[in-house]
Chain A
C-alpha cells in the first residue's frame, strides 16, 4: 500500500539505462562520432569550452555527445571534470596583438592596418534553409590568400595614440584571483568580473548586454574591434627559468569603444568594454564587452541608474548557468516534508479565516 518512495535504487538504474538508449537513438541510423561533433558542430563545442572553462575540443565534443546535445548539461560535465584536474601553474598573459586572425572587423574605422577580414561568418548569409545539406555532398573549397605575416595591431591603440581613449592600467598585483578556487566576495573587481562573464551563460550575458542597449544603463558602444584567431600560450617553466610555448588556443576578443562625456573624476574621452572568450564565440564576446562596460560605472564616476547590468552582485550571482540550472531544477526533488508543514499551516490559517468569516456573517 505504502509504496511512494520505495524502489529508488532500481528506478535510478533503470532510468540510466533508458537514458543511454535514448541517447543513442534509432540504431539503424549511424552513430555520431566525437570527431564529427568536434569538426561539424564546432560552435557548440566552442560554447561548451568557454562556459566549461576548459579548452579541450575533444572533451567538449564528448560532453556534447554524452549530453544528447544539451549544451548546459555538456558544460556541467566539463566543469565537473575540470575541477578534478591538478593545477600546474598559470600561463603568461596571452598577447592578442600577436593573434593569427581568421576574422577581424572594426565598426569604427573603414580601414586600419591589418585590414577588415570577414572570415567564416554568418553575418551576410541569407537565413534560408539549405536543403542541399540534407544530402551529403562535397563542399566547394574556399579561395585562399597569403596569410598576413605581420602582427595585427589593436584598433583601439590608434585612438590611444591621440589620448582619446582611456588608458587601461595593469593592476600592481597582476595575478587575478581565481573564481574557481576562492569563494566569490564582493566587491569583486574587474578581473574577477571578466572571469565570471567569460564563463557566464551566453543567454544571460546576451540578455544583460541587450538591456543596456535598450536603455537600462545605456553606454553607447561601438565595436572598436572584433577579432577571432589563434594565439600561442606560453608558460614559464621554473626549471628552465624562461617561458615556453605550450600550445595554441582560438580566442574571440571584442573591444568596444564607448562614448563618454566625462565625469567628476575623468575628462571626456572614449572608454572601453572588454570581452575575451574561448573559441569562435562572438555573440558572447560582444555581450561580455557591453556588460563589462556597464559594470564599470563606479570606476568611471558615472551615475548608478539602478540598471540590472550595473549591479555587480546581481550580474555575478546570476550569470553561471550551472549554478542557476541546478538550483532551478532542484525544485523537482522531493519536498514532501516542507510541503507537509505548509499544508498544515494553510489548513490552520484557513480554519481560522473561515471561523472569522462566519462570525462576521452572524454579526
Chain B
C-alpha cells in the first residue's frame, strides 16, 4: 500500500485543499467550512471526515493516537490506526500524553490536552440545527443571521415537558459568542473540556464540512440562567481504577443483569491502575 499511495494516502493537492479549509475554520471558530471531501477507502460514517483531517495534519514526525468511545482497542479505532501506520508510517501510541495528533469518535480524553496537540473529531452530522430544520439552505441562512431562537425554544420545550434538557450527547455549544456548533456526539460530560489548550478540528466527510476551535476558545454549552448546564455522568466510581471523575461505560456482566462501571477512556483507566489505583472489581479483588 505504501508504495502505491502518497504519504497519509491523500495526494498533496487534496491535503492542501483540506488545510485551507482547516485554516479558514480556525479563523472563524465554529463556522462550518465546505470542503471537497474525497471518497476514502472506508465507508462514510466510519470517520472519513476525521481521517481526511488527520491525513492533512500528520507529518512524518507525529505520534498518532486513535480512540473510539474513548478506547484505543475498539475495532474501528484499530482499523483507522492501522490505516495510518500503513499509509503514513507514523509512530502510534495509546498514551494520550505522548500523542501529537489524536483522532477521536465520541469522546474527549480525560487527561487534559496540552499546547501542541491536535484533537481531531469524527463528525456524523455537523449541523446542530439539522434536527430542527432539515434543509441545509435554511440552516446556513440561520447561522449567517445568527438566528438561533429555534434552538432555545427546543431546549425550553424540553424543560417544560421533562423538567430537563433531554439532550445527553452532541449537546450544542456556542463558540466565542457567535456560532452555535455541534460538538459531535460526545457525551455532554465532555463539553466543559472543550475549552482547552490543544487545537480541535472537526471533520464531517459525508456532509463535506470542516470546523475548528483554536486553543482556549470560549465554548459555552447552551442553557438558561435558572436551568444551568449539567455535565452529568453515571453516579459511580470506576470499578477497575476507582476514578470518580471519569466518564463511565456500563457493562452487563451476567445473565442476572449484574453490571459494572468502567472508564470509557482506556488509557486513563490503565494509567491509573498502573499507578496503583484500584476499583471495586479490579483483578486482584476478583481473583
- Starting from the known contacts A183-B37, A338-B185, 4 additional A-B residue pairs (CB-CB under 8 Å) come to A86-B11, A326-B46, A341-B233, A352-B163
Query: Whole-angstrom distance from the CB of B202 to the nearest CB of chain A?
Result: 15
The answer to whether A329 touches B38 (Cβ under 8 A) is no
Q: Which residues of chain A are within 8 angstroms of B77 by Cβ–Cβ distance?
A: 8
Given the contacts A1-B286, A2-B240, A11-B75, A341 and B34 also touching, CB distance less than 8 Å: no
The answer to whether A338 touches B168 (Cβ under 8 A) is yes
Overall SS of chain A's interface: helix
Of the candidate stretches A119-127, A240-248, A317-325, the one touching chain B is A317-325
Given the contacts A330-B43, A344-B232, A336 and B249 also touching, CB distance less than 8 Å: yes
Count, A-B residue pairs, CB within 8 A: 149
Given the contacts A5-B74, A338-B169, A345-B164, A327 and B39 also touching, CB distance less than 8 Å: no
Query: Whole-angstrom distance from the CB of B17 to the nearest CB of chain A?
Result: 9
B187 within 8 A of A: yes
A283 within 8 A of B: no
Closest residue to A186 on the B side, CB-wise? B137
- Bin the interface of chain A by size: 35 or more
The answer to whether A341 touches B137 (Cβ under 8 A) is no
Overall SS of chain B's interface: loop
Q: Which residues of chain B are within 8 angstroms of A86 by Cβ–Cβ distance?
A: 11
Query: Whole-angstrom distance from the CB of B237 to the nearest CB of chain A?
Result: 15
Total contacting residues, chain B, CB less than 8 A:
64
A4 within 8 A of B: yes
Closest residue to B78 on the A side, CB-wise? A8
B224 within 8 A of A: no
Q: Which residues of chain A are within 8 angstroms of B192 by Cβ–Cβ distance?
A: none
B247 within 8 A of A: yes
Closest residue to A7 on the B side, CB-wise? B73
Of the candidate stretches B64-72, B94-102, B143-151, the one touching chain A is B64-72
Q: Report A's interface with B, CB cutoff 8 A.
A: 1-2, 4-9, 11-12, 76, 79-80, 82-84, 86, 180-187, 313, 317, 322-323, 325-331, 333-338, 340-345, 348-349, 352
In whole angstroms, what is the CA distance A349 to B164 when docked? 8
The answer to whether A337 touches B43 (Cβ under 8 A) is no
Given the contacts A327-B45, A327-B124, A329-B45, A8 and B206 also touching, CB distance less than 8 Å: no
Query: Whole-angstrom distance from the CB of B103 to the nearest CB of chain A?
Result: 14
Q: Which residues of chain A are within 8 angstroms of B247 by Cβ–Cβ distance?
A: 337, 340
The answer to whether A334 touches B251 (Cβ under 8 A) is no
Digitize B201-214: 1 where CB-to-A-CB distance is under 8 Å, 0 elsewhere: 00000101100000
